Chain A
Amino acid sequence: MGRLGRRPREDLGPGALPTAISSLSRALRGGLGPETFRKAKFDLPEAVAELWSLLFSLLWPIHQEGAVAPRDPPDALEGQIRFVKWVLCCYGYGRRHFYQLSEDGSYGSYELLLAFSWLLVYLSLPERFLCLNCVHQGDDAWICLCKDLASYPVSLALGGKGRVDIRYVQWLLGKLRFQWRSLYASQQEQCTLLNKIHLYTRGCHPDPSVGHLSVPELELLRFPESSKQLLQQLESENSCLEAFLEWKHMELVYWQWMDTVMDANPIGIPNAGKQDVFLPEILQYCSPKYITGEMDRVQKNLEALRQRLQETVNQQRAAWHTKVSRCSRRLPRLSELSTAMMKEIQETVGCELAALEQGCEVKSWSHRLQRLVFREAGEPSNSGTHQMTKVIQVLRREEASLEKTFRRLQEECQQELAILARGLEGVIWILPPYQRW
C-alpha cells in the first residue's frame, strides 16, 4: 500500500518508461504493452490495429454518456476508425495526415501515437476514464441537474411524418403530466424505502461517518451470488486506481519520451498536398445541426432577457430619478453624502454579479457523486458534509424563479390571445372560473 506514490523520482531508471506505459495502459484498462508504443514510435504497422481500438474504446463511452438511446458500437474496424476521426475533428485536432490514414488500418501507428498522447492531455483521459467507470457502492444523490429532463436531445426519428390534430398534441401533453405525477409518486416512495433501509441498518457500516448500509451494500449481504459483480468491479477499480497513481508518479518519463518521438518523425514532414479531408457524418443519432439549434435557443433566451431588462431598467431609472430629486429637495447635502455610499453599493453589486458569473453555490460541488447519508437531527456530523437543508434552500430559490418565468410566459400568451379573441365574432368567451395563481 505504501509502495505507491512514495518513491522518490531518482528511482526512475532506464526501465522506467516501460513501467510507466504499462501502468498507463492498466489505468485505461487497455491491454497495450510498452512494445506497441515502441513500434509506433517507428511507425511500424503491427501497432496500428491495437492503437485504433484503444482510441475507440476510450472515446466511445465518453460520447455515449447522457444519450437517450445509446447506440451499439460499430463492430468493424472501419466504423471505429471513422468514429475516432470524427471525434478528434470535433476536438479541433488539426493534423491533416491523421485524417488521411486509410480506414483499413494498415499503416499510421506513429500518427496514432501522437493522437493518443494529444488526447491524454486534451481530455485528461486517465482521470476522465476513472470517473466514468467509477463504481457506486453508496446510495447516490445527484444534486446536479445537468442531466435533467429538458436537456435531453430530441431525436428526430421519434416524430411522425404526417400532420396531427391539436387534440393529439393535447393528449401527449396530458400523458406527460401524468408521467410527472407518477414520477413524483415513485420518487416519494423511493425516499421512504431508502430511509427505512438506512434507519434499520444504523451502526452497521465500518466507516462511522457513514454509519449505515446502502442498498448495494445490503444486496451484497442478501444476494452474494449476484453481488459478486460489485466486488469484482471494486477490485478492478482498485487496480485501475493503483495503476493510475503509479502512472502519475512516472508520467514525466513518458512526456520526455514523447519529445524524442516527435524528434524522430519517421514519416517526415506530412505532405502538404491540399488533399481535402472528408469526414463522413458519424453521429447520426443526434439531431442534425445540434449546435446551431442550441445556439438559436440560447440566443432567443438571451434576447428575450435583454428586452425585459431594457424595460425594467428604464422603469427603475425613472423611479430612481424621481426619488433622488425628491430627496435632494429635502436634503440638499444628500449628493455629497451619497457619492461614497453609491460607490460602496456599486462595489457590492459588482461582487454579487461576479459571484453569479462563477455560478451559484451549488455548482461547485453538485457535479460530484454524493453518498446519501442519514443522520438524525441532533446527532453530530462532520463539518465538511453537505447538508440537505442547504440544497433545499438553493432548490427553492430556483423553483421560485422558474415559476415566475413560467407564469410570465403564460401571461404573455393570455394577453396575446385576449387581443385575438376580440376578433372572434359571434362567440362569447368565458374564461375558466379561477386562475391558477
Chain B
Amino acid sequence: MLPASCSHRLVTELQGALAACQKKEEALQQSIARCRVLLQPWEVPSPPSPEPARSTETKPAHEPTPKELKELELLNQALEKALQVRKGICQVQSSKSASSGKTAPSLVTAQAGPGARPRTSNPKACVPAKPPPTSQRDSGRLKKPARASSHRGKAPGNALTHARQPENSMPIEGPSLCPLPSQGQVPGLPTSTPVSVLREAGATGPSPGPEEGKIQPGLRSEAFTLKEKGTQLQLPLFYKKIASRNSSLWAQVQHYQSSADTAVAAAKAHFMERMKVTFDLPGPAISLAEIQEEVNRLDQACHLLTQHLEEALDVNGEAATASLSWEQEYHRLVTLEGLQAAVERHLLRLRELRDAEEQWLGPRPVESSLWGSALCLGGKGSSGSTNHIVYSSVEELQTMTALKLRVTMLKQQIHLEKVLMEELLPLVRSENPAGPAQVALYRAIHSQLCEAGERFSILVRDEPSV
C-alpha cells in the first residue's frame, strides 16, 4: 500500500488525466457520428410524416451523452452476437421458405413514429429481450444474412454506422432486409428527420425564401449518397445571405479592432484613471488575475526555452564537437548564456509574483478559476482567407492531428512522470527493500518510471543456499 498522501495525489492526477481524455473522446465520438450520418444515403421517403416533437428540440439534446454512448456500445456488442447466432441459424435453415419473414413487424413499428422515439429510452433494456425472438420470428428473413454481414465487411469496427445503417438504408432495401430490430432505440443524432429534408428546407428556415422546393433540383426522387451527388448540393439562399452578412460583419469588427479610435481610447483611459484614484482597498498593484496570467506566461516561456535548448544541443549531437567551426561553437555558447539569463529573469519575476500573491491572499487560502483559459480568445476573424487553414490530402490532415495528439500526450506524460517521480522515488529511497512486497513495489516503480509502464524487468531472488 502506498502512503495516504501519495495515494491521494497519484489517484487524483490520474483521474484528472483520464477525465480530460474521456472528455476529448466523447467530443470526437459525437463528431464522428455526425459525419457518418451525413455520409450514409440520403433518402427521400414518399409521404411527409408530421413530426411535431422534433422541431422544438434543441440541438444539444440530440447529442449522445457518455452514458448513452456506453449503452450504445453494449447494444452493439449484443447485436453483433445476435448476428453471429443468426448467421449460424441461417446456414442450418437456408432451405426454409422465405415467405413468412416479409412483414417483420418489429421493424415497422420502430420506423413508424420517429418523433415518438424517446431518446431517453434505455437501449440496454431492450437488447436482452429482443435478439432471441428475432432469430425465431425472422428466420425467414435470414435468406439474406450475407447482406447484413456485408455492412460489417465494409466498415469493420464501425459499430455506430452499423447500428444506424438499417434505418437509413430501409427505404432502398425494403423493411425485410433490415436485420436488426433495435435500431429505433439508437440514441442521439437527428437521424429521424430525413423525411422532411428537402421538402422543408425552405419552409423551416427563419426566413422562408422563394427558393423553397428548388433547393435540390433533381435530387428529390430517390435516395442518394454524398459521394454520388454531393457536388450538386446547394446551400439554401437564406443561409447564404445570413452567412455572407455574418462574414462581412466580422470583417468590420476586425477592422475596428485593428484601427483604434484615439478619442475613445483617451476617454477610456481617462475614466480608468479616475476610477483608480477612487480605489481604496489595500492591495498590491498587480491583481490576482494578472498574477495567474503572468504565471501562465512564465510556464509557456519555460517550455519554449527548453525547446530552444534541445534544438541548440541537437546540432551538437549530430556533428562531433570537434568538427564544429569556432563560429558554431561560439554561437552555441552565446545562445546557452542567453537562455541562462532568460531563466534567471523568469525566476526573479516569479519571486516578485509570489510576494504579490502573498500580499493578496494573506493567511486565507484562496481558490481561483482558470483565468488563463479566458485569455484564449477565439473569434471568427475576417471573412478573408486569413482564418482558413488549408490541407491538401487526408494524410496531411491525419498527420497534423496525430502530431497534435502526440504533443498533448507527451505533455501529459511528462507532467505525470514528474508527479510519479516526486511521489514514488522517495518511497524507494526510504524503504528498506527486504521483503518481496518491497521488491515488487520496486519493480513496478521501475517499469513505470523508466519504461513508461510498457516493459517490466525481471527480479530473481537469489536465495543463499543453506
Residue A222 contacts which of B38, B58, B361 (CB distance < 8 angstroms)?
Answer: B38
CA distance A25 to B208 in the complex (A): 29
**Cross-chain contact B271 with A121 (CB below 8 angstroms):** yes
Chain A residue nearest in CB terms to B215? A221
Contact status of A223 and B197, CB under 8 A, knowing A232-B206, A373-B390, A404-B310:
yes
Binary CB contact string for chain B from 208 to 237 against chain A (1 if under 8 A, 0 otherwise):
000000011000000000110011011110
Does residue B121 face the partner (Cβ distance < 8 Å to A)? no
Q: Which parts of B8-23 form the interface with A (CB within 8 Å)?
A: 8-23
- Interface class of chain A by DSSP: helix
Q: Which parts of A109-159 form the interface with B (CB within 8 Å)?
A: 114, 117-118, 121-122, 127-128, 130-132, 134-137, 141, 143-156, 158-159
**Cross-chain contact A180 with B55 (CB below 8 angstroms):** no
Contact status of A197 and B457, CB under 8 A, knowing A183-B28, A359-B304, A413-B449:
no
CA distance A275 to B282 in the complex (A): 12
**Cross-chain contact A225 with B246 (CB below 8 angstroms):** no
Binary CB contact string for chain B from 284 to 307 against chain A (1 if under 8 A, 0 otherwise):
001111111001101111101111
B-side contacts of A153, CB under 8 Å: 16, 370
A-side contacts of B372, CB under 8 Å: 66, 146, 151
Does residue B335 face the partner (Cβ distance < 8 Å to A)? yes
Binary CB contact string for chain A from 389 to 411 against chain B (1 if under 8 A, 0 otherwise):
10110011111111111100110
Does residue B405 face the partner (Cβ distance < 8 Å to A)? yes
**Cross-chain contact B461 with A426 (CB below 8 angstroms):** yes
Q: Which parts of A279-328 form the interface with B (CB within 8 Å)?
A: 281-292, 294-295, 297-303, 305-306, 308-310, 312-313, 316-317, 319-320, 323-324, 327
**Cross-chain contact B14 with A173 (CB below 8 angstroms):** yes
A-side contacts of B253, CB under 8 Å: 127, 130, 241, 244-245
**Cross-chain contact B388 with A373 (CB below 8 angstroms):** yes
Chain A residue nearest in CB terms to B456? A432
Inter-chain contact total with CB atoms closer than 8 Å: 685
Does residue B93 face the partner (Cβ distance < 8 Å to A)? no
A-side contacts of B36, CB under 8 Å: 193
Shortest beta-carbon distance, B342 to chain A, in Å? Answer: 7
**Cross-chain contact A396 with B403 (CB below 8 angstroms):** yes
A-side contacts of B383, CB under 8 Å: 207
Does residue B116 face the partner (Cβ distance < 8 Å to A)? no
Chain A residue nearest in CB terms to B432? A423
**Cross-chain contact A200 with B334 (CB below 8 angstroms):** no
Shortest beta-carbon distance, B245 to chain A, in Å? Answer: 6
Does residue A32 face the partner (Cβ distance < 8 Å to B)? no
Does residue B97 face the partner (Cβ distance < 8 Å to A)? no
Shortest beta-carbon distance, A340 to chain B, in Å? Answer: 12
Shortest beta-carbon distance, B18 to chain A, in Å? Answer: 6
**Cross-chain contact A187 with B462 (CB below 8 angstroms):** no
Shortest beta-carbon distance, B28 to chain A, in Å? Answer: 4
**Cross-chain contact A286 with B326 (CB below 8 angstroms):** no
B-side contacts of A365, CB under 8 Å: 386
The segment out of B98-106, B125-133, B417-425 that lies at the interface is: B417-425
**Cross-chain contact A170 with B376 (CB below 8 angstroms):** no
Shortest beta-carbon distance, A198 to chain B, in Å? Answer: 9
Q: Which parts of A218-251 form the interface with B (CB within 8 Å)?
A: 218-232, 234-235, 237-238, 241-242, 244-245, 248, 251
Q: Which parts of B440-466 form the interface with A (CB within 8 Å)?
A: 440-442, 444-464
Known pairs A221-B215, A373-B390, A427-B461 / 4 extra A-B pairs, C-beta < 8 Å: A187-B405, A204-B235, A219-B34, A416-B425
A sample of 12 inter-chain contacts (CB < 8 A) reads A134-B378, A137-B243, A147-B373, A147-B376, A176-B17, A190-B28, A210-B388, A220-B239, A288-B366, A295-B350, A385-B390, A406-B417
The 7 closest A-B pairs by CB, nearest first: A92-B287, A94-B279, A66-B373, A159-B12, A200-B230, A154-B16, A255-B267
